[in-house]
Amino acid sequence: MDAIVALCKRRGFIFQSSEIYGGYNGFFDFGPLGVELKKNIKDAWWKDMVHRRADIEGLDSSIIMSPKIWVASGHVGGFSDPMVDCKVSKMRYRADQFFFAPVRVNNETIGYISILEDGKMQAEAEAAAEKMKRKGGHQGELGPIELKDYTEADPSEYELIPSPATGEPGSLTPPREFNLMFETKVGALSDSSDVAYLRPETAQGIFANYRNVVDTGRVKIPFGIAQIGKAFRNEITPKNFIFRSREFEQMEIEYFISPEADWEAIHQDWIACCQNWLLSIGLPEEMLGRDVHEKLAHYARACTDITFEFPFGKQELWGIAARSNFDLTQHAEHSGKPMEIFDEAAKKKYIPHVIEPSLGVDRLLLALLTAAYTEDEVGGEKRSLMKFHPRIAPYKVAVLPLLKNKPELVERAHGIYEKLQKRYNTFWDASGAIGRRYRRMDEIGTPWCVTIDFDTIEKDGTVTLRDRDTTEQKRVTEEELYTLLDASLH
Ligand code: GAP
């Protein structure tokens, strides 16, 4: 993870937001390479999920919508996480990600240990218990350490559990629900009636526009509405770089189906479709997994996450939920507008049910960075490279004249660069040793380098094409170059 974060900063992929003022927790800025990577991810998703499918339409709804939407969707009432505060350090934690256990020696409690959730917390908790026993000079058998999260603590235990910040008990508050929506004010007057929210998901903008799409388009069941856009959550503990941030982008689809359709089969089809798409843009199968939710939200019939092996453990990447007709029914009730659709084929009117694949752009970007990051050796020298799929790579190709001080080489190379640039994001690099220039391109994940040398201008016009992953070089004509680049980008 450290290597990825360092590379992101060094090469201009991702910066901490407001860095010159010491940063701003949970917010990030995407630099020249990061913005290309992000755009390529969104373009690939849009092309495959919207343009290449006859049953899905696009949408771009506003970020700030009527607060009534968030009342109807249940977000005002219930979009919250449990939190716990340390009154001494002023630190705040997610109560369900903060674990504790009594330490027992010979069945007698000698104190409590606490630990923040991570993959190794059981081992770390056992080591901490051992240390407590040793330090206190207790003799006897240490009991098993049974970790529970703070929401499961008995009120009598709040005073006994040590704060992760100070290591001392007595400063933790009871767990409280914390609504994750950011509030803002709309309009010149400022009173409680002007409160609005920055959307915490793009999905509600889809439900709010469902009627418009049905009335103005030529959709028929089953069909989907797709949207890409910013979402905001006042996460209690933003962490793991861009994995959980307070401002992020989502790519969501609401796929509307008949209430009588075999929703389980359609749900499974969507899970497979999402997994195949991830494979197609370069995530390796062995890093993907599934998490079938057992605990479901009251409106959900099923939810499966596609997970990814991040450097900090296996975590949710893409949630695919079967949400019944909960949202449309809520909006029908709260807005008083009908949400039924007339199904021509079935000759029936109903409120459709939905399958909802919901993916975070930033989280996918982190997964792609993780999967692409590679270290190997070339000619006895260590190199780090990003093995991005060509569709995702910020630059598709780089053009390098072999020597900077030979005008005829530079001129010919620049002519090729100008032609390539019209079709692909192309990098121009004329300075430095050729090996160093290749290495620079490897590190930002450019799949191909095209070198123009004396054979190009004096012999047959062919150029040297170098492959990033294998470092193999071959001579190709300009025609062959375009064919290869076009084929790799689809
Ligand atoms: N409309 C359903 C919905 O929003 P979610 O599981 O809360 O469901 C969907 O979010 C996806 O959005 C997640 O799988 C993840 O990829 C991304 N996501 C959610 N919260 C995020 C955060 N704080 N930072 C980055 N990505 C996030």
340 CB neighbour count, 10 Å cutoff: 14
| 23 HSE (CA, 13 A, CB side) | 8
What DSSP designation does 143 have?
A: P
Taking the centre of ligand 1 as the mean of its atom positions, its distance from the CA of residue 360, in whole angstroms, is: 6
Measured from the Cα of 202, ligand 1's closest atom is: 1
**Nearest CA owner, ligand 1 atom 19:** 360
Pocket test for ligand 1, best of 182, 250, 275 (most atoms within 8 A of CB): 250
Cα(381)–Cα(276) distance, integer angstroms: 36
Residue nearest to ligand 1 atom 6, measured at CA: 319
Residue 26 in tokens: 């949970």
Q: Which atom of ligand 1 is nearest to the CA of 305?
A: 14
Q: What is the mean pLDDT of residues 315-325?
A: 97
Residue 348 has pLDDT above 90, yes or no: yes
**Mean pLDDT throughout 244-264?**
97
Q: Cβ neighbours of residue 431 under 8 Å, at least 6 residues apart? A: 404, 437
**Ligand 1: which residue has its CA nearest to atom 8?**
358
* Highest mean pLDDT, choosing among 116-120, 305-309, 453-457: 305-309
Please tell me the predicted confidence (pLDDT) of residue 192.
Answer: 67
User: Is the pLDDT confidence value at 169 over 90?
Assistant: yes
Ligand 1 midpoint to CA 410 (Å): 48
Q: Per-residue pLDDT averaged across 341-354, rounded?
A: 96
Question: What CA dihedral angle connects 367, 368, 371 and 376, to 10 degrees?
Answer: -140
Ligand 1 centroid–CA 245 distance in Å is 10
Q: So what's the pLDDT on residue 190?
A: 66
Distance (angstroms) between ligand 1 centre and the Cα of 283 equals 19
The secondary structure of residue 5, as a DSSP letter, is H
CB-based contacts of 143: which residues, under 8 Å, 6+ apart? Answer: 103, 104, 105, 107
Tens digit of each residue's pLDDT (9 = 90 or more) over 421-441: 999 999 999 999 999 999 999
201 CA to centre of ligand 1 in angstroms: 8
pLDDT at residue 379 in the model? 85
Please tell me the distance between residue 244's alpha carbon and the centre of ligand 1 in angstroms: 8
Closest atom of ligand 1 to 318 CA is 14
Buried b (16+ CB within 10 A) or exposed e, 123-158: eebbebbeebbeeeebeeebbebebebbeebeeebb
The mean of the pLDDT values for the chain is 95
pLDDT, average across residues 277-303: 94
Does residue 412 contact residue 443 with C-beta atoms inside 8 Å?
no
Q: Which long-range contacts (CB under 8 A, 24 or more apart) does 310-315 make?
A: 310/1, 310/240, 310/243, 310/366, 310/367, 310/370, 311/1, 311/4, 311/370, 312/1, 312/118, 312/119, 312/240, 312/243, 313/118, 313/119, 314/289, 315/243
- Residue range 212-235: mean pLDDT, rounded: 96
How far does the centroid of ligand 1 lie from the alpha carbon of residue 486, in Å? 33
- Atom 26 of ligand 1 has which residue's CA nearest to it? 360
Predicted pLDDT at 449: 98
How far does residue 358's CA lie from ligand 1's centre (Å)? 7
Ligand 1 pocket mutation pick from 363, 365, 369 by most atoms within 8 angstroms of CB? 363
Write out residues with Cβ below 6 Å of ligand 1: 201, 203, 233, 235, 244-245, 248, 250, 252, 316-319, 356, 358-360, 362-363
The yes-or-no verdict on residue 490 having pLDDT over 90 is no
282: number of Cβ within 10 Å: 17
Specify the residue with its C-alpha closest to ligand 1, atom 20.
244
pLDDT, tens digit, for every residue of 67-94? 999 999 999 999 999 999 999 999 999 9
Q: Which ligand 1 atom minimizes the distance to the CA of 238?
A: 23
pLDDT at residue 299, rounded to an integer: 80
The pLDDT assigned to 301 comes to: 92
Average pLDDT over residues 129-147: 95
Which ligand 1 atom sits closest to the C-alpha of 201?
Answer: 4
Phi and psi based region of residue 313 (left: phi greater than 0; alpha: psi -120 to 50; beta: remaining):
left
